[in-house]
């Protein structure tokens, strides 16, 4: 089966044509660099996305702390992950890269801060 997809690994956004058998990648054309093939393989086998969102804080400089997963997580888990994020409140200052939740939801990725955030002045 042929499947058309757009590589999202960089802003070039190559149009890929993947040959797919069940949930396996058989062939791929259209990529301008090797990352395109990796993307197509993962997209066919189990699509992954990096989650970026914000966590509510208490008594810190800003009301919301921007965060992300340090690795992509399964696309199918994004909304569940958002529910978990909404139950969190951050109460201590963090630096960029500080781990907010290790092995987040058991997905083998950490939820990390993407900016420094100090105490409320």
Question: What is the binding site for ligand SF4 (CB under 6 A)?
Answer: 7, 9-10, 12-14, 31-33, 35-36, 39
CB 4 within 8 Å of CB 13: no
User: Whole-number minimum distance, CB 71 to ligand SF4, in Å?
Assistant: 17
| Residue 73 partner contact from ligand SF4, other proteins, none using kind-dependent CB cut-offs of 5 to 8 Å | none
Per CB under 8 A, the list member of 17, 19, 49, 93 interacting with other proteins is 49
- Sorted by sequence, the CB contacts under 8 Å of residue 89 that are 6+ apart come out as 55, 56, 57, 58
User: Whole-number minimum distance, CB 41 to ligand SF4, in Å?
Assistant: 12
Asked if 75 interacts with other proteins (CB under 8 A), we say yes
Say how far apart CA 55 and CA 51 lie, in whole Å.
12
Beta strands in 7-120 (DSSP E): 15-21, 24-29, 48-49, 52-57, 64-69, 73-74, 89-90, 99-101, 111-113
Asked if 66 interacts with other proteins (CB under 8 A), we say yes
Which residue's structure tokens are 């058309």?
4
Query: Contact residues for other proteins (CB under 8 A)?
Result: 5-11, 13, 15, 49-50, 52-54, 56, 62-64, 66, 68, 75, 78-79, 82, 96, 114-116
């Amino acid at each position: 089966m042929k499947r058309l997809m757009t590589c999202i690994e960089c802003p070039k956004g190559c149009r890929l044509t993947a040959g797919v058998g069940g949930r396996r990648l058989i062939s791929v054309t259209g990529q301008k660099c090797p990352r395109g093939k990796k993307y197509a393989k993962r997209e066919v086998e189990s699509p992954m996305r990096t989650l970026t969102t914000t966590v509510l804080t208490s008594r810190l400089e800003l009301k919301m702390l921007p965060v992300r997963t340090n690795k992509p997580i399964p696309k199918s888990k994004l909304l569940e992950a958002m529910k978990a994020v909404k139950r969190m409140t951050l109460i201590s200052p963090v630096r960029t890269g500080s781990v907010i939740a290790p092995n987040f939801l058991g997905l083998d990725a950490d939820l990390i801060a993407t900016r420094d955030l100090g105490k409320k002045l």
